[in-house]
Amino acid sequence: MNLGLFISHSDEDVAECNKIINQLEKLLPNNIEVWYYKKNLGTGTDYETIITDSAFDAEIALMLVSSHYLESEFCRREREIFQEVHARPLPLILSKCDWQADAWLGSLQVFPPGNEATYLDLEIAAREKALLTLTDEIRRIIIYIKLLNKCRFQRDNLTFYKSNFKSNRRTYDKKWRTLYLPIFQLYSAEADLMTQMENFILIKERQRSALKFSTIKALDNIINSYDASAYEYKDEFEDVMGTNWINHPEKEIYSLLSTHRDLYDKLCSATDMTEETLESFHPSVELLKKKLEDTFKQMEGKIKMVATGEYRNVKTGLGE
């Protein structure tokens, strides 16, 4: 999925803005969808509606600020939308203007940094350097947006599984402690963890502090490691093994789920989530994830054998 970069500027500055946009499009990664009016508006279109809708969809807002930009009512409306949808703001001060008088713009870090020179004050080489710095910042924001989106997606999934298990608890009272409880606790711990990781990412982003590659890898691995297979195989466990499946040799999966839950409980209980904390858990999560995958793969094979009546030829302890 492409991320949206909305370039907001005044019509009065279109010549300089086009030069900047052309250079940025060469520097930006392919997964960034750049939106600006000259590129995205055709003849006969309702430009106000399209621009407004696109501003609402923006995840990153690059504002090319000048006196014309500050005086434009339409640009003011775009800034309000960026604040409303919490788009990541990147103001580039194009020419001298009283941008600090704007309460929101005045609170942001601007490009070029230093609050002295404007973009058009710079020499050609310095302009290119400023755009490279801006591109690096956009790349940094992309990483954070992706991690946040993953966290939120997994948290929503986990919350759904957790709610579903809880709502069915009365129906499965006898099975609750043998199968549902450890899985329910696993989803609870991981949902809490995703919330904590989301807060950690937001704090790092507000601090404009780039994460190390090893931390990004650890974050990505932990976010992706929750095991929905436990939910997917639930019905097959019950159909094939009965409610007392925990007594069969496949009880290893129960132990792994408990270990999985304990790991996330421990990570959640960390008083302050830091890069070092996340990286220290990375090997444990990687190993546990592999064990879970291998165990479920073995279980799947045995379940198929039981379902097809071939279990008598396999020493599984199932159906005997």
75 vs 245, more confident: 75
In tens, the pLDDT along 284-300 reads 888 877 877 777 677 66
The tokens describing 281, both together, are 């858990």
- Find the range with the poorest average confidence among 84-98, 193-207, 232-246: 232-246
- Find the range with the poorest average confidence among 29-38, 143-152, 154-163: 29-38
Percent residues over pLDDT 70 in the chain: 73
Q: Note the pLDDT of residue 183.
A: 72
Q: Note the pLDDT of residue 97.
A: 93
317 vs 73, more confident: 73
* CATH 3.40.50.300 correct for 3-122: no
Whole-model pTM: value is: 0.76
SS3 string, the chain, reads CCEEEEEECCHHHHHHHHHHHHHHHHHCCCCEEEECHHHHCCCCCCHHHHHHHHHHHCCEEEEEECHHHHHCHHHHHHHHHHHHCCCEEEEEECCCCCHHHCCCHHHCCCECCCCCCCHHHCCHHHHHHHHHHHHHHHHHHHHHHHHHHHHHHHHHHHHHHHHHHHHCCCCCHHHHHHHHHHHHHHHHHHHHHHHHHHHHHHHHHHCCCCCCHHHHHHHHHHHHCCCCHHHHCHHHHHHHHCCCHHHCHHHHHHHHHHHHHHHHHHHHCCCCCCHHHHHHHHHHHHHHHHHHHHHHHHHHHHHHHHHCCHHHHCCCCCCC
Using the predicted structure, report yes or no on whether residue 112 has a pLDDT greater than 80. Answer: yes
In tens, the pLDDT along 22-36 reads 888 888 877 788 887
- Find the range with the poorest average confidence among 31-35, 44-48, 128-132, 159-163: 44-48
Domains of the chain by residue range? 3-122, 142-313
